[in-house]
């Protein structure tokens, strides 16, 4: 529901917390009942232990029954309030329609436009050729997210026919159907040179209906469409003449010019004592015209003093949790439109991005693995969870909620969130108790239950939080960036699903000594930490899906790791795998393993990994010769047919003596190979003939 009032928001929070509590109840019950201690003891001692476990299970089942009764009463109470206060009848969108905050931009004088030099006549010629200036008719219509197509067609017809909205001719269209309006528009435009601007298109279906009214002719007519969604823009360009122009952020110089023109209308110069504050504000806006214009307009209405400018700067740089000025609220309203248009899984995945610092480069694969661990990715028939999660990431880029940073052979592999968008996400996340932030400026909200905790850099409030006795037993995700001064005891985190520690210089192996108690853990990340050994208790993490050790000091994995039957992604640097790692049959990504120092049955273990899609192997020259590498990989005669990427590095300047015989057309999913080879024959070249599908 968009823009709910206080009453509806309270009811939505009750429903959300009830859903969380039900899931927590089930997870905690599983923790106590289904978690059997490893190993067995024979004889009388074993019989006594087994009997004690049965008694404990009866106790936990009794507690579960009581909790279910309490939760049922809670849900019934929420439902009764829903009926009593007629929540379904509360629709603020029908009672009050807000003015589009972008409307004033349509009436800006040409001389106030920024980033295009020269007078207004030259400005026009940059966008429309001089021969195209004279049109017999023109129109501008805005579609919006939930368009009423009949009204849009009426407005389009009124502008094309140059009718007054109060004229009899316009009023006569009230009873017209969509088909009748389309036919009238086509008849009027068929033999004319027209210019039509269709603004703010949100869906392909909306454009499909509108374009029916705009006939293609040979009179030099032009149609300009605007949208926030890349796929919609591409869909609008169905002909060879179509062109998508992606809007880019303003340069530093243009950002400054726009800011000064809006703030100081006459002088357009910034006092020297305010230049540093201006630079801070522009850095936060990062070339986004909407943010620059609104913040500059706010400052233009304030006294030109250092105190006022610092207050606005601090408000922009820490917008969440504070009352905002009207100019800043405009930005939130526009972002809210994009947010409300997302599907529920995409909304949840977007809110999860509030767990990352500003300007952080977010890797796609690591992020998708965490979404999967949290249960945000909805299964789709015929696709893996990873493929569905990657489509979520690409869709958020497509909708400009994530800015693409790096590509790998045309595929987006990382992105970041604009600071203004991040502030919006953090605010939403805080309102829904989705993520609690603990950094140098903020401490978690006063909510009793913390669901996800993000700890950033040196934390001055760590001791304060621990003294508040915050309830951490409901924590599902814990992200820690930077030096660790405090983190919740792992024994208290019985339903934790994601534990991500990055650049934690103060992290010690003692911090992980009770990791075996996290039986619901699905993602464990130790990026760029100085941890050198994984605890043997790692075998107890039976639901673990991802183990990310990149940048850590861990190179040798314990033998107990082979018991992780659900592990899908194991990534690190030159990892030494124990004998029997082939038992981890769910592995889809294995990167990067040390082929020189891994198990004796290296090739046989690889043969068992039939789900493998990505494999990176490093052979050290010091420990290998031609015979040893052939012996190691020989049992891998038939690699998994799902294999998509294979990289072999570090052996004799990255070269193999002969082309691998296992590469064949049967590997239909293989798209990327990276290794060197000294000698190839005609058969080998034949295997590489499909260059359009593979990258070598």
- Report the C-alpha gap between 47 and 529 in whole angstroms: 44
Average the pLDDT over 18-39 and give the result. Answer: 69
Given pLDDT bands bounded at 50, 70 and 90, which one contains residue 321? very low
Cα separations (Å) of 43 from 46, 49, 54, 56? 5, 10, 17, 20
CATH classification (class only), 435-450+460-554 = alpha beta
- As given in the structure block, the two tokens for residue 286 are 């990062």
Q: How many CA atoms lie within 13 A of 682 on its CB side?
A: 0
Strand pairing category for 645-649 and 222-227: unpaired
First to last CA, the chain: 49
Entry field: residues in the chain: 696
| Top mean-pLDDT range of 15-29, 42-56, 444-458, 475-489 | 475-489
Of 237-241, 356-360, 612-616, 650-654, the poorest mean pLDDT is in 650-654
Using CA atoms in the order 537, 542, 543, 549, what is the torsion angle rounded to 10 degrees? Answer: 40
Residue ranges with strand state E in 537-587: 546-548, 569-575
Percent of the chain whose predicted confidence (pLDDT) is above 70 = 74
Q: What is the pLDDT of residues 400-431, one digit of tens each?
A: 889 898 888 888 999 999 888 888 899 889 88
- As given in the structure block, the two tokens for residue 682 are 């005609």
Given pLDDT bands bounded at 50, 70 and 90, which one contains residue 130? very low
Q: What is the CATH number of domain 129-236?
A: 3.40.50.300
Nearest 5°: CA angle at 342, between 339 and 345? 115
- As given in the structure block, the two tokens for residue 490 are 């792992």
Determine contact, residues 539/564, Cβ cutoff 8 Å. yes
- Report the C-alpha gap between 204 and 222 in whole angstroms: 19
Residue 261 predicted with pLDDT over 60: yes
Residue 189 predicted with pLDDT over 70: yes
Q: What is the CATH number of domain 332-422?
A: 1.10.10.10
- Report the C-alpha gap between 674 and 696 in whole angstroms: 6
- Report the C-alpha gap between 312 and 274 in whole angstroms: 12
Determine contact, residues 11/78, Cβ cutoff 8 Å. yes
Q: Which DSSP string do the residues of 482-524 spell out, in sequence order?
A: S--S----GGG-TT--EEEEES-TT--GGGGTTGGG-TT--EE
Report the pLDDT value the prediction gives residue 569, as an integer from 0 to 100: 97
Q: Which DSSP string do the residues of 295-336 spell out, in sequence order?
A: HHHHHHTS-S-HHHHHHHHHHHHT-TTSPPPHHHHHHHHHHH
Given pLDDT bands bounded at 50, 70 and 90, which one contains residue 562? very high
Q: Which residues pair with 416 in a beta bridge?
A: 403
Given pLDDT bands bounded at 50, 70 and 90, which one contains residue 466? low
Q: What is the mean pLDDT of the chain?
A: 79
Show Cβ contacts of residue 476 under 8 Å, excluding neighbours closer than 6 positions: 374, 451, 452, 495, 496, 497, 498
Average the pLDDT over 616-634 and give the result. Answer: 62
Q: What is the pLDDT of residues 566-600, one digit of tens each?
A: 999 999 999 999 999 999 999 999 998 988 777 77
Average the pLDDT over 295-318 and give the result. Answer: 80
- In a 10 Å sphere around its CB, with 0-12 CB exposed, 13-18 middle and 19+ buried, how is residue 545 labelled? buried
The answer to whether domain 332-422 and domain 435-450+460-554 are alike in fold is: no
Residue 283 predicted with pLDDT over 80: yes
Task: Note the pTM of the prediction, 2 decimals.
Answer: 0.78
Residue 131 predicted with pLDDT over 70: no
Of 56-65, 257-266, 275-284, 455-464, the poorest mean pLDDT is in 455-464
Cα separations (Å) of 347 from 24, 180, 341, 369, 431? 21, 39, 9, 17, 14
Determine contact, residues 369/571, Cβ cutoff 8 Å. no
Determine contact, residues 304/274, Cβ cutoff 8 Å. yes
Determine contact, residues 294/327, Cβ cutoff 8 Å. yes
Average the pLDDT over 124-153 and give the result. Answer: 73
Given pLDDT bands bounded at 50, 70 and 90, which one contains residue 230? confident
Residue ranges of the domains in the chain? 6-95, 129-236, 252-317, 332-422, 435-450+460-554, 575-696
Average the pLDDT over 200-205 and give the result. Answer: 89
Angle subtended by helix axes 344-352 and 385-398, to nearest 10: 80
Residue 198 predicted with pLDDT over 80: yes
């Amino acid at each position: 529901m968009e823009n709910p009032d206080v009453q509806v928001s309270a009811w939505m929070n009750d429903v959300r917390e009830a859903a969380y509590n039900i899931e927590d109840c089930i997870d905690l019950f599983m923790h106590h009942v289904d978690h059997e201690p490893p190993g067995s003891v024979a004889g009388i001692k074993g019989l006594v232990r087994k009997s004690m476990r049965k008694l404990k299970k009866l106790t936990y089942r009794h507690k579960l029954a009581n909790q279910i009764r309490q939760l049922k009463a809670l849900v019934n109470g929420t439902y009764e309030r829903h009926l009593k206060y007629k929540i379904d009848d509360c629709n603020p969108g029908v009672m009050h329609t807000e003015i589009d905050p972008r409307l004033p931009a349509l009436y800006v004088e040409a001389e106030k436009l920024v980033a295009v030099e020269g007078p207004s006549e030259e400005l026009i010629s940059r966008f429309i050729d001089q021969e195209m200036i004279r049109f017999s008719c023109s129109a501008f219509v805005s579609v919006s997210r939930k368009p009423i197509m009949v009204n849009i067609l009426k407005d389009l017809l009124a502008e094309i026919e140059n009718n007054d909205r109060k004229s009899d001719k316009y009023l006569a269209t009230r009873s017209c159907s969509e088909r009748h309006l389309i036919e009238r528009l086509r008849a009027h435009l068929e033999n004319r040179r027209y210019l039509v601007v269709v603004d703010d298109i949100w869906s392909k279906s909306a454009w499909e209906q509108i374009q029916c009214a705009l006939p293609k002719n040979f009179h030099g007519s032009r149609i300009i469409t605007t949208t926030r969604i890349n796929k919609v823009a591409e869909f609008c360009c169905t002909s060879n003449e179509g062109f998508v122009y992606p809007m880019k952020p303003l340069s530093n110089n243009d950002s400054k010019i726009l800011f000064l023109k809006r703030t100081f209308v006459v002088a357009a110069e910034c006092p020297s004592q305010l230049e540093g504050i201006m630079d801070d504000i522009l850095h936060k806006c990062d070339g986004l015209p909407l943010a620059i214009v609104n913040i500059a307009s706010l400052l233009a209405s304030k006294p030109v003093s250092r105190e006022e400018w610092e207050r606005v700067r601090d408000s922009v740089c820490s917008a969440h949790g504070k009352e905002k000025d009207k100019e800043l609220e405009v930005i939130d309203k526009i972002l809210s439109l994009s947010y409300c248009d997302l599907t529920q899984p995409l909304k949840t995945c977007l809110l999860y991005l509030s767990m990352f610092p500003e300007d952080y480069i977010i890797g796609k694969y690591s992020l998708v693995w965490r979404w999967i661990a949290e249960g945000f990715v909805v299964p789709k028939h015929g696709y893996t969870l990873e493929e569905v999660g990657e489509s979520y990431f690409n869709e958020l880029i497509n909708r400009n909620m994530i800015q693409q940073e790096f590509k790998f052979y045309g595929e987006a592999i990382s992105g970041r969130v604009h600071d203004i968008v991040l502030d919006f996400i953090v605010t939403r996340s805080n309102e829904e108790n989705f993520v609690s932030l603990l950094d140098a400026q903020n401490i978690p909200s006063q909510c009793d239950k913390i669901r996800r905790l993000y700890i950033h850099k040196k934390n001055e409030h760590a001791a304060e939080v621990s003294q508040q006795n915050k309830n951490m037993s409901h924590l599902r995700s814990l992200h820690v960036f930077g030096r660790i001064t405090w983190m919740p005891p792992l024994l208290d985190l019985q339903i934790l699903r994601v534990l991500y520690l990055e650049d934690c210089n103060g992290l010690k192996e003692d911090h992980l000594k009770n990791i075996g108690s996290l039986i619901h853990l699905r993602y464990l990340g130790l990026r760029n930490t100085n941890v050198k050994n994984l605890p043997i208790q790692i075998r107890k993490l039976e639901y673990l899906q991802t183990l990310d050790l990149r940048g850590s000091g861990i190179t040798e994995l314990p033998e107990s790791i082979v018991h992780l039957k659900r592990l899908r992604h194991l990534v690190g640097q030159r990892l030494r795998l124990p004998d029997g790692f082939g038992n981890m049959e769910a592995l889809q990504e294995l990167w990067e393993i040390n082929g020189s120092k891994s198990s004796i049955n290296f090739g046989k273990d690889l043969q068992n990994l039939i789900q493998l899609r990505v494999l990176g192997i490093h052979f050290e020259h010091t420990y290998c010769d031609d015979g040893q590498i052939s012996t190691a990989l020989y049992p891998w005669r038939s690699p998994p047919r799902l294999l998509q990427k294979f990289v072999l590095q570090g052996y004799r300047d990255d070269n193999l003596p002969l082309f691998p015989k296992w590469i064949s057309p049967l590997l239909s999913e293989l798209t990327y190979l990276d290794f060197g080879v000294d000698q190839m024959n005609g058969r080998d070249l034949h295997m590489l003939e499909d260059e359009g599908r593979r990258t070598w």
